Chain A
């Protein structure tokens, strides 16, 4: 069975602080994708990044960076110099392509509050 765990339910930081959101996943499949989505207060889900199971390179996009480690089954997300606009719920998700029809298995989400 597949599972995604985001142990941090809520995180509160002050603007300009760095913050890391943890994601741990479980799957027995060797081919899978990991995703991060952002859900701002307006409610829509915004795609942030996709990473496949064969690519362990870290990725940086502006103030966002992702650390994928298969050895610990983790796909953590770091926001550098956080801003108030980063306040949102962030979801980590797992997709097992070959057997899962591409469906996403979501973690419970981490609510990030960035205070000015």
Chain B
């Protein structure tokens, strides 16, 4: 059981380049999330998905797109990277969001992205 994995672990981009971050989970979780972590700001939600084929915007969605074509994968895309997108990106998944059922989020190891 690998849990939540993220690819790649590190990446350096030039301004204007594009890339896709891949998140995969093998726990059959319905819900998946992308967060970014910046110094002094905690983690902020970018986009999330409540099931295969569905996505929704979080707190800071601008400049990012996502897709959830398969239940186990959640992709985060940067179409035209900007220095402001330099951050550590975390993917998370959870089994449920219902009260009384296991609803803690399990996090991947993170992707450190630098945009020059």
Size range of the chain A interface in the assembly: 20 to 34
**Is B74 in the interface zone, CB < 8 Å from A?**
no
* Interface residue A85 (Cβ < 8 Å from any Cβ of B): no
Q: Is B58 an interface residue (CB 8 A)?
A: yes
Q: Is the C-beta of A64 less than 8 angstroms from some C-beta in chain B?
A: no
Known contacts: A95-B97, A101-B31, A101-B48. The answer to whether A107 contacts B42 by CB under 8 A is yes
A52: nearest chain-B partner, CB-CB = B99
Contact, CB under 8 Å: B31 / A102: yes
Choose the segment among B13-21, B63-71, B75-83, B102-110 that binds chain A (4+ C-beta atoms closer than 8 Å): B102-110
Give Cα A32 to B94, complex, Å: 16
Q: Which residue of B lies closest to A103 (CB)?
A: B45
State which of B56, B99, B104 has its C-beta within 8 Å of the C-beta of A35.
Answer: B104
Question: B94 contacts which chain A residues (CB < 8 A)?
Answer: 102
Binding site for A on B (CB under 8 A): 31, 33, 35, 40-45, 48, 50, 56, 58, 88, 90, 92, 94, 96-100, 103-107, 109-110
Beyond the given A44-B107, A104-B45, A108-B40, please list 20 additional residue pairs across the A-B interface where CB-CB is below 8 A. A9-B40, A35-B104, A35-B105, A45-B107, A50-B103, A52-B99, A52-B100, A91-B42, A91-B43, A93-B43, A95-B103, A101-B50, A101-B97, A102-B48, A102-B97, A103-B48, A104-B35, A104-B105, A105-B45, A108-B41
What 5 A-B pairs have minimum CB-CB distances, sorted nearest first?
Answer: A102-B97, A106-B42, A45-B107, A106-B43, A108-B42
